[in-house]
Amino acid sequence: MRKLIFLVIAAALGNLPALAAHESAAEKRPNFLIIVADDLGFSDIGAFGGEIATPNLDRLALQGVRLTDFHTAPTCSPTRAMLLTGADHHVAGLGTMAELQAPNQRGLPGYEGYLRRDVATIAERLAPQGYRTLFSGKWHLGLTDDQDPFARGFQYSFALRPGAHNHFGVDLTNPLTGAPNYSENGKALSSLPQDFYSSDAFAERLIGQLRNSTSTDQEKKPFFGILAFTAPHWPLQAPPEDIARYRGEYDAGFEALRQRRIARQEELGLIGKGINANPPKLPGGSWDELSADQQAVAIRDMEIYAAMVHRLDQAIGKVLDELERTGEFDNTVIIFMSDNGAEGLDPEGSAKALLAPILALADNRLDNRGAASSYVLYGPGWAQAATAPRWLIKGYATDGGTRVPAFVHWPASARRGEVAATLLHVSDIVPTVLDLAGVSHEALAPSAELAWQPITGRSWAEWLQGLTPSVRSNGDALGVELFGSRALRQGEWKITDIGDGQWRLFHLAGDPGETRDLAATNPAKLAELAQLWDEYAKTNNVVIPTEARYRP
């Protein structure tokens, strides 16, 4: 299979050398680098319509294939469960976030709050097949030593175990559990360097893992690495010199930014011209309704956010430099994605009670915002500028909550320099990697008593080689649920429930913003898709919460 893949790629590139050369190329299996940003909005980086300086990501995206219909779960740990396993998050143990389980979900299979042992991670599948497996960054799939990435197939790991932290490394223990926040190769860390900053540290640790693993007997082995940033997840914190770069950039406000981003996405061919944008939900009022002091705070928070994204890009640049230095860049499949839609918790509303103990201790004066002693969020106005023209934000099964920026950079791919609108899902990454690596999907289970749950994602391998026009047919159904917000996609049809129990029907081909509810005029299609969602829920043991624990 692997030899066939490389033969097809060579043919697509118009370069068919001798058979011996084919065999040599097929024996050199590709490396893989999965890069995950945390709460990054769809249009935040330049190649997706943003004004933030992200030259390294832009170069990769423009040379690769930009995925404009790539979907995740509405929040982070469920997405990461699917990224790691290729199985639905309700099956993998993260039916909901561990921190936000409803009373009727506690103790049920699939709602353990950590990765179950009967789902294999991609590292557990690749390591026995000759890959060195590396992890650096946010884990959020279990807090204990036996749930650490080092215990789940990663031979080298530097992990932030919980879902958020102080980006300057101030919080070494989880304030809710008292458990250590950071671990290295499975062992809890009691200290971090004084100059610690999350994006820099995660990139530097991955570079160290690349170097350390090649100085051992694994030198000739290809690598599979995950670089999982916590930027730009709150608390918004960044070095002051990076914040200063964006002074004045956002003085016109979040509504002006929203229109600017939509226009730029049109220019780049990421969305159609003149489509209906879903109007933003602004609990604090429009920009002009804010006081001068409120505007000043909001502007500063967006400046910090932009600085975090800029710094993330610079950290990625260091990793790319290392791959080029070692000659591995051209043989590395790089997949970049955000873990969900932009985060829009309202620090004066929906987030106030949730974060009250932390906010009470923070120094959030205007001139201190972004420092290690501050703890700020940027709110729904800026978030909906990043998800526009789509509906809502992180936490919802709307396209604003699940359609995220993503791309594949692979010089051997037949798809380079493209904008691709085919429907893709985070659970597809595991089977794609396995196929490109030439590794069977039927991994050996850890014992005779424990069988792995099947992979349900779809491989992109043939699609990336230009052999098929899409990954899913119009008849394939893709379901999602979190916090009671539900959706099901089939072709260009979608039903959406924002958590109020009401199904809405949209035809995304002409209405990507989910602005026109067709439920009343097409009840047959609504019923058809609702039945498919019920089948999805039954297959994956979905338990609708009796109370919503998270609602932006």
Domain extent listing, the chain: 2-539
Q: In 421-522, which ranges are continuous DSSP H helix?
A: 429-437, 461-464
Sequence-separated (6 or more) residues with CB below 8 Å from residue 547: 102, 103
Instruction: Report the pLDDT value the prediction gives residue 138, as an integer from 0 to 100.
Output: 98
Please determine, for residue 375, whether its predicted confidence score (pLDDT) is greater than 70: yes
- Residue 235 preceded by cis peptide, ω within 30: yes
Report the range of poorest mean pLDDT among 4-18, 22-36, 365-379.
4-18
Neighbours of 40 (CB within 10 A): 31
Please determine, for residue 129, whether its predicted confidence score (pLDDT) is greater than 70: yes
Instruction: Report the pLDDT value the prediction gives residue 114, as an integer from 0 to 100.
Output: 98
Give the three-class secondary structure for 144: coil
Closest CA to 288 of 259, 255, 262: 255
**Chain-centre distance for alpha carbon 351:** 22
Give the mean pLDDT of the chain: 92
Angle between helices 254-268 and 379-387 (to 10 degrees): 10
User: How does pLDDT run across 405-455, given as a tens digit for each residue?
Assistant: 999 999 999 999 999 999 999 999 999 999 999 999 986 666 666 678 999
User: How does pLDDT run across 446-487, given as a tens digit for each residue?
Assistant: 666 667 899 999 999 999 999 999 999 999 999 999 999 999
Dihedral sign computed on CA atoms, order 315, 321, 323, 326: negative
Instruction: Report the pLDDT value the prediction gives residue 348, as an integer from 0 to 100.
Output: 81
Please determine, for residue 5, whether its predicted confidence score (pLDDT) is greater than 90: no
Instruction: Report the pLDDT value the prediction gives residue 219, as an integer from 0 to 100.
Output: 60
Rg from Cα positions in the chain: 22
Confidence bin at 303 (pLDDT 50/70/90): very high
**Please, are residues 487 and 480 in contact by the beta-carbon 8 Å criterion?**
yes
Which fold, 2-539? Answer: Alkaline Phosphatase, subunit A (3.40.720)
**Please, are residues 35 and 339 in contact by the beta-carbon 8 Å criterion?**
no
Burial state string for 167-194 with b = 16 or more CB within 10 A and e = fewer than 16: bbbebeebeeeeebbbbeeeebeeeeee
What residues act catalytically? 76, 140
Tell me the C-alpha distance between 543 and 552, whole Å: 21
